[in-house]
Structure 1
Amino acid sequence: MDSITQAALGASIAGLVAGKTFGRSALLTGALLGTLPDLDVLIDYGTAVANFTQHRGFSHSLFVLAPVSLLLATLLWRWKPEPGFQRWLLLTALVLLTHPLLDTFTTYGTQLFWPTGRPLAISSIFIIDPLYTLPLLAGCIVFLLRPPAQRAVAAGLVLSSVYLGWSFVAQQVITERVQPALAKAGLADAELLVQPMPFNTVLWRATAITDRQRVEIVTGFLDDDTPLTLEYFPRQPELARAVSQLPEARRLEWFTRGFLDYRASNGKITATDIRLGIPGAHPFTFVLASERGGKLIPGNGERAPRPTMNTGALPLLWARATGAIPVLCLSSLAVPAPGEEC
């Protein structure tokens, strides 16, 4: 999740655990601890691909954060003996461990059990979702105005947790909705990713991939009984095979579970993470190799320029979420003309 959300979660937990002892300073302590795992973004691993895939790595591992919690609790206890070692340990452990657990509900990929296993991504909540964050912020604001206000903080934590649970249930409902349409299209065995569209859990995006094509479905809880629209995007398996032995390509395949779009343009072969963002606005594209004289020359995994955000699409996304627009083509972020399909 975003830094504001993680800070609000950490502050809420600290306020609940030690608010009576430290007052408002408990919120600051929790907020700082809550952002600690994300400081790994300051580390340069050498290439853009490495920086992308190493984020949420060791600093989000339960195997690392558990002993770090113990170490920090010991240091903080020696600095301030009150409220006691057990309370310090409860505070540090809850704040640090809930950070990667919450991140796991997003799509990016969290290496919860680093250095073993692959990244985990439940993908039931967008990386920024106001309905999850606002209850936490509200509880913290009440705490600041009338400390320790632990009931308000606890209420914020309960509401945000219930919303997180709802996001998982909603994901299962949408998954069951799209599976028959995919099966009818001959994609019953395709790799499937179901995730919410930006900033909400009302409108959802389902992405199914095979070697040669990708299918996108946008559907929401405010839609009517209109049949689902399947939007097809071709894939280029020959490009995937051409770079399959490159370390950067293997790393991206591992990190994204194969949800990549390979393209050749201006003599360069790129790979785009199609899980994040939406078609036309995927933020992570990497240059893997270049072609010169019929030969493939490995690149250094540099990141291609991020596409310009189309702010004009935001009203369309809102209209699609509310059901005012029954179909929104992802390829163009536009409403199809009457009688036409995406």
Structure 2
Amino acid sequence: MDSLTQIVLGAAVGEAVLGKKVGNKAMLYGAIAGTIPDLDTFIGNFFDTITSIEIHRGFSHSIIFAIIFAPLFGWIISKIESKSEANWKNWSWLMFWGLFTHPLLDAHTTWGTQLFWPFDLRLAYKNIFVIDPLYTLPFLIFLILPMRLKRTDPKRKKYNRLGLIISSIYLLIITIGLKIYTFQKFENALEAQNIEYHRIDTRPTPLNTILWTANIETEEAFLIGNYSVFDTQPISFYSVPKNYKLAEEIEDDPNLHRLIQISEGWYTFSKENGNLYFNDLRFGKMDIEDPAAPFIFSYKLSEENGELIATETEKELTDAKALLPRLWSRILGN
């Protein structure tokens, strides 16, 4: 999830664990704990693109990381807050839950997380977009309310608990319920249109859980379709050719296989101005319904010193701004 959401979650968890003893400092250190796992993004800047992708949401988002580093961070905080009522064990417990709930939340996004690192198992439930105001804003409101109260005020615990309960209901019941409902809609549409397919993958579109998109793999292409719970017209699909023949010369390259593994097999190739591109389908395109729109995650493949190099294509901010009005219109139904 985005940084603000992880900060809010970490702060709420910190308050739940240690708020009664240390007040707002529990929120502060909980927020810090909720931020730490995403430092892997900074570390990734020192590596090539493929390695950086592999590192992201890897070790720092695992149970092992939380177990190893919670006592260390707890000890550091206990030295900084030596006059606090909380001891090393208290701070370590707070840090553990702050570090651990971060990947638990990320597991619900499209990218997922390697919670059980070093095992090659990425959890990605794909039931919430990385930025979802309906999850974050109510959570934030119920976090701000207790911040204004004394640590001994019983309303403080009540407000924080309400924030945790409401956000959890939205994440674990509403979004998963909508994923199941929309998945069935896509399956029914494919059956009604007599489309044979190998597998199907669904996820919410940006900033909401009302409009969903599906990737469907067929023999020669991927089909992409969208469905809003407000739709009245049948679901339509457009085709994206796999174009695997474009990469025949490098089909055995180990770096290419690393990219394929990262994409979980949801990928196509394309050529533009003589350059070969690897497109990750899991995150869709910059336009919700335009087949010609660029992919959100696309990598130019080139060779340097005999090694296959992947370079992520830059995304223009204007593309994202142009997407929002069309996205809102599509959310309201066809």
TM-score, normalised by the number of residues in structure 2:
0.88
Partner Cα distance (1:268, 1:215) in 2: 24
Listed as ranges, the matches of 1:48-87 within 5 Å are 48-77=49-78, 80=82, 82-87=85-90
Listed as ranges, the matches of 1:174-185 within 5 Å are 174-185=182-193
Partner Cα distance (1:211, 1:118) in 2: 26
Aligned equivalent of 2:97:
94
Q: String of CA shifts for 1:253-274, please: whole Å, max 9, x gaps.
A: 1111111121122232111212
Q: How far off is 1:310 after superposition?
A: 4.5
Aligned length: 318
Secondary structure at 2:10 match in 1? helix
Q: How far off is 1:250 after superposition?
A: 1.1
Q: How far off is 1:301 after superposition?
A: 1.6
CA contact (8 A) 2:12 2:27 kept: yes
Aligned residues with identical type, % of pairs? 32
Is it true that 1:162 corresponds to 2:163 in the alignment?
no
Is it true that 1:263 corresponds to 2:263 in the alignment?
no
Alpha-carbon distance change, 171 to 258 in structure 1, aligned in 2, over 3 angstroms: same
| Structure with more helix by fraction | 2
Listed as ranges, the matches of 1:118-197 within 5 Å are 118-148=121-151, 149-165=156-172, 166-185=174-193, 187-197=195-205
Aligned equivalent of 1:21:
21
Partner Cα distance (2:320, 2:9) in 1: 31
Aligned equivalent of 1:205:
213
Amino acid at match of 1:67: I
Secondary structure at 2:240 match in 1? strand
Determine which of 283, 301, 326 is the counterpart of 1:316.
326
TM-score, normalised by the number of residues in structure 1:
0.86
Runs of 4 or more consecutive aligned structure 1 residues displaced over 6 Å after TM superposition: none
Aligned equivalent of 1:283:
296
Alpha-carbon distance change, 234 to 15 in structure 1, aligned in 2, over 3 angstroms: same
Root mean square deviation of aligned Cα: 2.2
CA contact (8 A) 2:284 2:295 kept: yes
Alpha-carbon distance change, 281 to 19 in structure 1, aligned in 2, over 3 angstroms: farther
Gaps of 5+ in 1: 291-296, 327-342
Is it true that 1:40 corresponds to 2:49 in the alignment?
no
Q: String of CA shifts for 1:162-221, please: whole Å, max 9, x gaps.
A: 110111121111111111222445555422110001101111101112352111111111
Secondary structure at 1:283 match in 2? strand
Aligned equivalent of 2:290:
none
Q: How far off is 1:281 after superposition?
A: 4.7
| More divergent stretch after superposition (136-145 vs 166-175) | 136-145
Is it true that 1:300 corresponds to 2:309 in the alignment?
yes
Gaps of 5+ in 2: 287-292
